[in-house]
């Protein structure tokens, strides 16, 4: 299994977020991807490639062009006001109506294209998000061309909270959705599964494919009654229109340990295998770890190889797209353990 990694993510740093009512240094740091890269190389699972520039077309197949233009120009617009600190929204249009008019002012645009205050923009944000998406694009392209049965995109920033037109939860471009769309089109796959095993519900991925039946989205995650993103991920959410029945949510309570988690994973895998999908994308978050600083599941290090072995049941080819995980001392070991379990002899 080869991996794709871009060092452009290193420029996305020094940003802040609102956490517990305070402005703090973001938990989403460059060290996350560096630790995963180091662990992948140490495990000698495969080669690490720098992704070629595939341009905006695969991104625009998922994201609204106005939103992409906003991301590309937000920092320059912010700096034009004489501001050097990270850009964060101060107003959101939630509750003001879905038909809110997009403001001209950058402060208004930040709120219009945001769902929370977890996505500060700094000088390196667009190059990092673009490079992260290119990792997913390159890995998906390799799978679509039949170069290997599985691949790993070391994406940072993560992506599964980003919707077609909004950022949130550290996510700017939805790498998993971009990859799934590419597998559908370039790989001519009739139906693709996206399995999200991050601690937090992949609300952005769900929203993007909500009305589509050609992408089956399954997610096990923290109960949104009690955890981020709060407004998405309930068990009753099943899709709409052509997408009805193509969404499966398995919310789990705080304190969930391996037996309960693995049982839910089996349920998700059964659903994927019954869905008729012929390729899979895994949103690989390891913030389910017991010592993750912003999460409340109780998985241990030894559980991640077991998860990887369970994922052998997925329809192949399989693309792993790195998402969350904030216990930086263990993040690389836990993420790579999933890949090692997946690659282990059956």
Question: Among all residues, which ones are annotated catalytic?
Answer: 161
End-to-end CA distance of the chain: 16
Note if the bond before 300 is cis, omega within 30 degrees: no
**319 - beta bridge partners?**
151, 281
Residue 280 token pair: 């899979």
Spatial contact of 59 and 178, defined as CB atoms under 8 Å apart: yes
Residue ranges of the alpha helices (H) in the chain?
30-43, 57-60, 65-79, 106-112, 125-144, 175-185, 203-209, 258-274, 303-310, 331-343
Closest C-alpha to 9, from 50, 39, 67: 50
Sign of CA dihedral 217, 220, 224, 227: negative
């Amino acid at each position: 299994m080869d991996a794709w990694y871009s060092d452009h993510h290193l420029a996305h740093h020094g940003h802040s977020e609102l956490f517990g009512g305070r402005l703090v240094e973001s938990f989403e740091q460059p060290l996350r991807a560096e630790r995963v890269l180091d662990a992948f190389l140490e495990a000698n699972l495969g080669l690490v490639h720098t992704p070629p520039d595939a341009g905006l077309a695969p991104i625009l197949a998922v994201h609204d062009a106005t939103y992409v233009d906003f991301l590309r120009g937000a920092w320059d617009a912010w700096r034009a006001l004489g501001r050097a600190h990270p850009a964060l929204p101060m107003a959101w249009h939630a509750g003001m109506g879905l038909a809110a008019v997009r403001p001209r002012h950058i402060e208004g645009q930040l709120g219009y294209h945001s769902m929370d205050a977890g996505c500060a923009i700094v000088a390196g944000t667009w190059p990092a998000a673009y490079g992260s998406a290119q990792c997913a694009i390159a890995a998906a392209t390799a799978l679509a061309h039949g170069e290997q049965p599985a691949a790993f995109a070391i994406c940072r920033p993560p992506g599964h909270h980003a919707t077609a037109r909004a950022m949130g939860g550290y996510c700017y471009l939805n790498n998993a959705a971009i990859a799934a769309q590419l597998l559908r089109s370039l790989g001519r796959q009739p139906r693709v599964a996206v399995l999200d095993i991050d601690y937090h519900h992949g609300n952005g991925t769900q929203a993007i494919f909500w009305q589509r039946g050609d992408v089956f989205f399954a997610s096990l995650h923290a109960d949104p009654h009690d955890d981020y993103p709060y407004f998405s991920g309930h068990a009753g959410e099943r899709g709409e229109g052509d997408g009805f029945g193509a969404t499966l949510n398995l919310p789990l309570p705080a304190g969930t340990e391996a037996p309960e988690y693995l049982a839910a994973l089996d349920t998700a895998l059964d659903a994927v295998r019954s869905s008729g999908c012929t390729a899979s994308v895994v949103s690989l978050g390891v913030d389910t770890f017991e010592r993750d600083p912003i999460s409340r599941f109780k998985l241990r290090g030894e559980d991640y190889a077991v998860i990887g072995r369970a994922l052998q049941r997925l329809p192949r080819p399989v693309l792993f797209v790195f998402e969350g995980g904030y216990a930086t001392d263990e993040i690389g070991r836990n993420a790579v353990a999933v890949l090692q379990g997946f690659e282990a002899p059956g």
